[in-house]
Structure 1
Amino acid sequence: MGALQRVLTRSTVATTAVLAMALTACGGGGEPSGSAPANGSQDTGTAGTASEELRQVTVGVMPLVDLAPLHLGMDQGFFEDHGLELELESAQGGAAIIPAVTSGQFEFGFSNPTSVLIAASRGLDIKVIAPGGSSTGDAETDYGATVVLPGSDIDSAADLEGHSVAVNTLNNISDSTVKEAVRQDGGDPSKVDFVEMPFPNMVAAVEQGTVDAAFLVEPFLTAGLNQDMEPVFWNWMEVSPDLMASTYFTTGELAEQDPELVADFQAAIAQSADYAQAHPDETREILTEYTSIPEEAAASLRLPRWSDEVNVDSLQRLIEISSEDGLLEGDLSVDDVVLADQQ
């Protein structure tokens, strides 16, 4: 594993700090905070492109579980094989990465889909080009849930009426999926009190009674479950059994002006996703390299499902619930936001 590839990780100073930044995938803001040239460093046995011929592109990222395929792909040389050298720019969330991509500062970015949909509805030139992590569709293995203390009087989503729920970012995929679960259970989501707080604070906040429930993703979900917290529902699955919870994107202008570059990036990401899905042990190992998640924690984390195709049905569901929650401006269709070759 090359030293340059891990500069992004080694610049972090504490596990909690990294995880606080990392798991704002469900939204959040902040400015891009660091970069590392990251071409693959291992000999995979395939004929890669000579380094002087590689095209350097910048990708806005977060140190998230969902991004494990990207890092595996770099180590396996998949991006080099497609003529690319990646420079990673770290940010706290999609709200920071999106303007960097649409302004041309980055060629590609990573975000939760809801942030992308909101941006597209506001007229930004943004196109989904590849999936990130998706729901496993199985409560035994999925990686996002709303949890409560044992013995809580909250037994279903509708029971959240009149109660407080911690989410990492308001008006985004976190509270939207909670609201959708409440609606589907016959409740009124307007009667739920959403409290914005960082993921690392949520387990303690539930234990101390500061909030009644919390929406947790990994690694905080496993931490909560290990402390006997009980899942009320699994957020991603409430929207779609195979919800695409994160995505890669670029601008329509870049896709039109340099389709070969976009196609090469898509091909390398697809190869990386397939590799990660087929090699969970390597995926867990690399989590300890680009985040500060300890080995023992990585060994028990619930991993996303990785696919090589954009789930347009999942995006359509997110458009529907985002519209119902008033997050989108005007009408928006999947055709508006997904690159044509992914539809």
Structure 2
Amino acid sequence: MDTRFRLARALLALALAALVQMVVPVEAAAPPPTTVRVAFTPLQAWGPLFIGEAEGFFAREGIKIEWVTFAGGADTIAVLIQGQLDVGAGAASAGFFNAVAAGGRVRIVADKGHVEPGFRAVSLVARRGLRVGGPPTVADLKGRKVAVNTVGAIAHYILAKALARAGLRVDDVELVRLPFPSMVAALQQGSIDAAILSEPFVTQAIQIGAGTLLVPAGDVAPGEPIAFLFYGPNLLDRSPEVGRRFMVAYLRALRQYVQGPTDRNVRVVAEYTKISSDVVRQGDWFPMYADGHVNINAIRRFQDWLYDLQLIGVRMPVTTLVDPSFQAYAAEALAAR
């Protein structure tokens, strides 16, 4: 009797366990994160993007970042249009305006830095020893080699403004194109005479004695945009929902970035740029709009300059260059959370 009772009880327990498995749903596994390929340059102006990954803001939106290295924003335009990159970052350039004019699906979608009075995070820096017997001046650059990361972008624009203060034009110097990380070594070696540098390389060049500050951007181009985020057809057309989630994470990171060089922000930027925390902390912090909105009038001024130099063939309506819908969606979504 006891044996039959124990057997019946065991069978009942098994039946109950099977019934529970049938009626209690198993929690579905979380979907894998969506990989988003983002342009990378080791500059302080990429701070919000670095913060977004380091603090898990992108992961919270189901996004995994894949960094793709470029010398500047101009180099990203073709690969964005081809769908080999999802998010571009950097300065607007003649290549961007010409691509849109030709029907390319690439748009500015958010602010990533602009110039304010006193701004030194982008500056014209001359090599030490350029002028024997005294500090160099802008006038000393006539006939000299001056580096920019991209021709027809904001560095070129700031250089033109700085040269004009000494009665010079860009044609009066020899333009050399170099990526920002290579400029400090080129100044040290004397292979270039000056460069438009961006932080953290402005501070690094001055600290190690490779260069002397000539003209900060804040003196010659206040109010002008430095950089933007760009979307290509992958996020504009094929996966706009991913584009919206990316922007939510970016604006969340931007809110942290605009708190300035806090210990945490400095550590994150130093880690991604491979520059010491002391240099990052001492450098200028890029002004950015906390809500990521784009200064339409500044884009119009820059486009006029490119047109006057015949670097672009047509002036485009600004509404065809900027898609504000992603930034607007993200700002509203964060306000509601």
State TM-score, norm by structure 1.
0.72
- Is the CA contact 1:171–1:327 (under 8 Å) kept in the aligned structure 2? yes
TM-fit CA distance, 1:275: 1.0
**C-alpha spacing 1:203/1:123, structure 2 compared with 1 (3 Å):** same
Supply the AA of the counterpart residue of 2:215. F
CA RMSD of aligned residues (A): 3.1
Alpha-carbon deviation of 1:85? 0.9
Contact 2:181 2:201 (C-alpha < 8 Å) held by counterparts: yes
1:76-225 superposed matches below 5 A:
76-81=55-60, 83-93=61-71, 94-114=73-93, 115-139=95-119, 142-148=120-126, 149=128, 152=131, 157=138, 160-183=141-164, 186-203=167-184, 205-206=186-187, 209-225=190-206
The code of the aligned residue for 2:322 comes to V
**SS at structure 1 position matched to 2:282:** coil
Q: 1:183 to 1:288 in 2, by over 3 A?
A: closer
Quote how far apart the aligned CAs of 1:273 are. 0.9
Q: Distance in 1 between matches of 2:103 and 2:269?
A: 35
In structure 2, the CA distance between the partners of 1:162 and 1:245, relative to structure 1 (3 Å rule), is same
| Runs of 5+ consecutive residues of structure 1 not aligned to the other structure | 1-49
Show CA shifts across 1:243-294 (max 9, x none).
3212111136743555433333222212211111115222210023223222
More moved, 173-182 vs 155-164: 155-164
On the 8 A contact 1:145/1:232 being kept in 2, the answer is: yes
**Do residues 315 (structure 1) and 299 (structure 2) align?**
yes
Separation in structure 2 between the aligned mates of residue 270 and residue 164 of structure 1, nearest angstrom:
39
Question: In structure 1, what is the Cα distance between the partners aligned to 2:180 and 2:89?
Answer: 19
How far off its partner does 1:133 sit? Answer: 2.7
Structure 2 portions without partners, runs of 5+? 1-28, 329-337
Calculate the TM-score normalised by the size of structure 2: 0.73
Distance 2:30 2:260 in 1: 27
Structure 1 residues 158 and 317, CA gap change in structure 2 (3 angstroms): farther
Separation in structure 2 between the aligned mates of residue 340 and residue 265 of structure 1, nearest angstrom: 14
- Distance in 2, Cα, partners of 1:160 & 1:318: 24
Give the SS at the match of 2:168. coil
In the alignment, the residues of structure 1 paired with residue 160 and residue 102 of structure 2 have an alpha-carbon distance, to the nearest angstrom, of 22
Deviations along 1:172-228, one digit per CA (max 9) or x if unpaired, are 332232123334654333222223344455445545654432222222211222228
Larger radius of gyration: 2
Q: Are 1:322 and 1:328, in contact at CA under 8 Å, matched by a contact in 2? A: yes
2:223 is matched with 242
Please state how far the C-alpha of 1:80 moved relative to its aligned partner.
4.0
SS at match of 2:143: coil
Q: 1:158·1:183 contact (CA, 8 Å) conserved in 2? A: no
- Kept in 2, the 8 Å contact 1:61–1:88? The answer is no
User: How many percent of aligned residue pairs carry the same amino acid?
Assistant: 25
The equivalences for 1:258-297 within 5 A come to 258-281=239-262, 282-297=264-279
Distance change >3 Å, CA 105–CA 158, structure 1 → 2: same
